[in-house]
Structure 1
Amino acid sequence: MSQEGRILKFEIFRYNPQKKGDEPRMVPYEVTETPGMTLFIALNEIREQQDASLQFDFVCRAGSCGSCGMVINGKPDLACRTLTSKFEDGQITLLPLPGFELIGDLSVNTGKFMQAMSERVESWIHDIGTDDMNFNKLEERMDPDIMDEVYELERCIECGCCVSACATKRMRPNFLSAVGFMRLARFYLDPRDKRTDEEFYEIIGDDDGVFGCMTLLGCEDHCPKNLPLQTQIAFLRRRMVMVK
């Protein structure tokens, strides 16, 4: 429960790999809690009033961009949607998301991973070809139920929390992870994409794809958007089993 004037005690990971001689360390900070305070607000207060060198990322401040993902008291989550009032003892430990290239402190390069993932799953609608395409032709109407399924997967904000919570990813650096499966499932469900099951199999039909998932549920447990990650992974796995 939020207590106006309560002192919040932070332990924040600090390390700048670009700074010669810098060493990883945990640095303590204290912030006076205000009503409705989020970790995003607290971090900005620390940077503005105590340490301008603190690095962390943000864009939307509304849980839509995924930029502020970090490990909060041992669990991947978004700083902008985490209220400080949930921490009854006022003790908060912040670390960068594992599994991504560290930029500095709490800032990691999720964009590099997401771009590689997007290219790997060929994240665009594959039509039968462009030679005979009529670009003035209207698209066929999509079944509302399928549209709802596609929209559900489009809610993924690619924050990287599922990647950081994935034990398989720790063991297999090339494992596609739930975020990649969600992206591919979105195109698999889309009737406009003309790829065959065999073509999808070439992308995810191995141990670095859906058959490598150990179903530990870490991704689904820590998805800020509560997406049905395991349901979609199981769906893709069943479809790929039918190919071979």
Structure 2
Amino acid sequence: MSEIPTRAVRELTIRVLRCNPAEPEQTPEWQDFRLEEAEAMTLFVALSLLREEQDASLSFDFVCRAGICGSCGMLINGRPGLACRTLTRDLPDTITLAPLPGFELIADLSVNTGKWMRGMSERLETWVHDAGLADHNLAQVEAPMDPALAREIYELERCIECGCCIAACGTAQMRENFVGAVGLNQVARFRLDPRDTREDADYYELVGDEDGVFGCMTLLGCEDLCPKDLPLAAQIAFLRRKMARA
């Protein structure tokens, strides 16, 4: 019997941008860690080993480890991505990691995406506005939704608010108040939802300016780097066409 060829074990160099705003005297610097690669190792596993075995002060975020919570977003060799969904075997021997730009830095690879997302959600009122709820009739049966429409809405609801689209967006890096693809995706979703009783003019007032749909430079970084492969560019283009005709 022929032997199954084994894959050579690599030594990885993981270069992390270290910075802790809580220690203003500390200047940002790159720190190199070396680690033996394991089979099917993800960046999340690699970082966890580094924190457990080499430096307990290394900061990064995680919750689900399954590409659902979106908390482990970071720049991986200059591209936004999720550490838990990135296999080290798909990367070179030297891996450079930095925090996502556009968000408040907590420390090292940890950023406060939640603060940004909450501000965006409050600004765009990303909840169902149902005029019928004013009657407080909680026993009222919700009207059935067409399955095709429900699937279309669900497609947009798959956003995990990881922040990768913001980090990949040139406009978001230049314009602090730009709501980004994640915000415009929310508006597009509620426009489809028949339970939301707002008029088109209400949505246009929220995002019909350069901090909204007309600020997009169509660089497509948001869609190219979305971990959930959402049709972000198509939704932005649709909103722009609708608003331009209004």
- Calculate the TM-score normalised by the size of structure 2: 0.95
From 218, 222, 227, the equivalent of 2:225 is: 222
Q: Is the 8 A contact 1:215 1:230 kept in 2?
A: yes
Q: How does 1:1-244 map to 2 (within 5 A)?
A: 3=7, 5-87=9-91, 89-243=92-246
CA distance in 2, matches of 1:139, 1:132: 14
2:209 partner letter: D
Question: For the residues of structure 2 that align with 1:131 and 1:11, how far apart are their CA atoms?
Answer: 55
Q: CA deviation at 1:134?
A: 2.0
Deviation, 1:3, is 4.0
Q: How many residues align?
A: 241
Q: What SS is found at the alignment partner of 2:131?
A: coil
Matched residues in 2 for 1:223 and 1:79: separation?
Answer: 13
Instruction: State the distance in 2 between where 1:130 and 1:157 align.
Output: 27
User: Contact between 1:10 and 1:29, CA under 8 Å: does it hold in 2?
Assistant: yes
Contact 1:3/1:34 (<8 A) preserved: no
Distance of 1:184 and 1:152 partners within structure 2: 14
Q: CA contact under 8 A between 1:3 and 1:33: conserved in structure 2?
A: no
Q: Which letter maps to 1:115?
A: R
Q: Aligned partners of 1:242, 1:189: CA distance in 2, in Å? A: 18
- Structure 2: how far apart are the matches of 1:223 and 1:32? 29
**In structure 2, C-alpha distance between the alignment counterparts of 1:128 and 1:37, rounded to whole Å:** 50
Residue 130 of structure 1 aligns to a residue in which SS? helix
Gap regions ≥5 residues in structure 2: 1-5
Identical columns (%): 60
TM-score, length-normalised on structure 1?
Answer: 0.96
